[in-house]
Amino acid sequence: MKSHIVGALVLVVIGTLFLLNNLGFTDMSLGRLLMTWWPAILIVVGLGMLFKRG
């Protein structure tokens, strides 16, 4: 259940960022964002796998 909520929140945040970028409210590059934050993304995914129940 919790993974569904986290997944949904991730999609909402990504969609919001894309919408803000398309409307001109932010100047963001997805490639630059991923190049900067990919280590943190790997850490979060790994921690999620470690603490996953089931």
* Confidence (pTM): 0.54
Domain containing 18 equals 2-50
What pLDDT shows up at residue 1?
Answer: 60
Per-residue model confidence as pLDDT tens for the chain (54 residues): 666 788 788 888 888 888 888 888 888 777 787 788 888 888 888 888 888 765
Q: How many domains does the chain divide into?
A: 1
The 3-state DSSP composition of the chain as helix, strand, coil percent (nearest 5) reads: 80, 0, 20
Report the C-alpha gap between 34 and 38 in whole angstroms.
5
